């Protein structure tokens, strides 16, 4: 059976990371969190004292760092120069900085090239904000997830609390809204729904309900591929 390229796009806090992990695990595919790559660049820039507006320094930074994805004992990890930064890249400060860093053309060029390299050949689930429009516009399956800013802010608030991060709910919702504005208005690769994407509003749905819809779409694509290959 042909291995598919599956794109999952949507704004911050809509559930992309959780859903892509489960979907990829069930299918036996590589799970590629494109947003984590930009977060890792933002973290590296912060540690080196690089301003988000210093594009020359950011370009050089991308040439010097190595971002990888690793599976250990069933857990997925994001590695920055061999360091597990899975938690460090999810703080509110890094979340806000990421939008500015991702707006740098040289950063996007470097990350997109790496993402296409990792996803070449199919058998991959990629999640981010421009997967189905820029990185893999010819993806076999495209999903666009959405939910209200209030619901997404509350989800992020609870997620950070579980990780022991001290956060304020109102501030978290405001940060989600600010990230939405930055993502949808940036000049290069803004967050936009692909015309052929399957749209799922997760505001009033839990993870199992969303997954049921996603698996149904993927199964239909697999059956269509099998039929075309056998004819």
Domain ranges of the chain: 5-211
Distances (CA, A) of 120 to 11, 25, 69, 225: 24, 18, 15, 18
CA distance 156 to 12: 9
Give the pLDDT score at 219. 95
Distances (CA, A) of 181 to 40, 91, 192, 207: 21, 19, 12, 26
Residue count of the chain: 231
The secondary structure of the chain in percent helix, strand, coil, rounded to multiples of 5, reads 55, 15, 30
CA distance 153 to 201: 15
Structure tokens at 62: 């991308």
Give the pLDDT score at 203. 93
**Dihedral-angle region of residue 107 (phi above 0 means left; psi in -120 to 50 means alpha; beta otherwise):** alpha
Residues in the chain with pLDDT values less than 70: 1, 73-74, 230-231
Give the pLDDT score at 231. 62
CATH superfamily of 5-211: P-loop containing nucleotide triphosphate hydrolases (3.40.50.300)
CA distance 100 to 140: 30
**Nearest in space to 103 (alpha carbons), one of 113, 115, 111, 91:** 111
Indicate the DSSP class of residue 66: -
CA distance 118 to 127: 13
| Neighbour count for residue 103 (Cβ, 10 Å) | 21
Contact, 155 vs 202, CB < 8 A?
Answer: no
Interval 105-157: pLDDT, tens:
999 999 999 999 888 889 999 998 889 999 999 999 999 999 999 999 999 89
Radius of gyration of the chain (CA): 17
């Amino acid at each position: 059976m042909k291995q598919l390229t599956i794109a999952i796009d949507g704004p911050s806090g809509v559930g992309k990371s959780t859903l892509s992990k489960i979907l990829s695990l069930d299918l036996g595919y590589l799970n590629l969190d494109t947003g984590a790559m930009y977060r890792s660049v933002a973290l590296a820039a912060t540690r080196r004292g690089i301003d988000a507006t210093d594009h020359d320094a950011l370009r050089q930074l991308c040439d010097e760092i190595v971002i990888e994805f690793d599976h250990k004992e069933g857990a997925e990890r994001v590695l920055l120069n061999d360091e597990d930064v899975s938690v460090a890249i999810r703080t509110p400060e890094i979340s806000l900085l990421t939008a500015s860093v991702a707006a740098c053309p040289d950063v996007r060029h470097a990350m997109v090239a790496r993402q296409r390299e990792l996803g070449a050949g199919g058998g991959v689930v990629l999640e981010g904000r421009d997967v189905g429009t820029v990185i893999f516009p010819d993806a076999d399956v495209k999903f666009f997830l959405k939910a209200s800013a209030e619901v997404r802010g509350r989800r992020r608030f609870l997620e950070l609390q579980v990780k022991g991060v001290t956060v304020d709910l109102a501030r978290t919702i405001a940060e989600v809204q600010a990230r939405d504005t930055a993502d949808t208005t940036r000049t290069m690769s803004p967050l936009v729904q692909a015309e052929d994407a399957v749209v799922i509003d997760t505001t009033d749905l839990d993870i199992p309900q969303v997954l049921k819809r996603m698996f149904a779409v993927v199964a239909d694509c697999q059956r269509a591929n099998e039929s075309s290959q056998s004819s």
